[in-house]
Amino acid sequence: MALNLIRKVITKMNIGEPKIKNFGRSDALLLEVHAEHLYAVAFQLRFDENTKFEKMDFLSCYENKGKFYFSYFLSSSLHQQTLVLRTAIVIPEFGKETALFSLADVWSTAIPYEEEIFNLFGVVFLSRDKMSEQKKIDRGLDSFRFPLRKNYVWEDAVL
């Protein structure tokens, strides 16, 4: 039931046919969206009366083949359904800013995960709070020290 409702809500947004499938062997669903549509899709999933994915349980990030992949694990008590909302962004050359829109306005539980992903991967989450973004950029991008990036160089002193 939730699958059809999600498909209907996303199709109404005119962003193309939604890519929805089962998430591995679990009962959870996987919805893949382009990064430029992430915020709009998340907002619809959270606040649309038909879907109501009111809770973000977890956010993960990994690097593979020149892209960062982000998986937002969402749950709806209305439908007793888990949905993984996934997007990807291309990793720019070393030292260049990598950014994605923050979903903290949609789910406040995104804040600590976004902070951790910034610290480990150097991804800046863009939001309405420009001062917070600038602090992140000043604090991290000058040092280029993001230990979970594949191009990170471990210094002898650290080992």
Q: What is the pLDDT of residue 65?
A: 92
Q: What is the pLDDT of residue 151?
A: 65
Q: Does residue 45 carry a pLDDT above 50? A: yes
Q: What is the pLDDT of residue 9?
A: 84
Q: Does residue 137 carry a pLDDT above 70? A: no
Q: What is the pLDDT of residue 4?
A: 83
- Find the mean pLDDT for residues 117-137: 69
Cα→Cα distances 129→1, 101, 112, 151, Å: 37, 12, 15, 29
Cα→Cα distances 94→48, 143, 152, Å: 39, 11, 10
Percent of the chain with pLDDT over 70: 78
3 state DSSP class of 124: strand
Domains in the chain, CATH or no CATH each: 2-140 (3.30.460.80)
How do 123-126 and 98-101 pair as beta strands?
Answer: parallel
Question: Residue written as tokens 């949905």?
Answer: 83
**Tens-digit pLDDT profile for residues 82-103:** 999 999 999 887 667 788 999 9
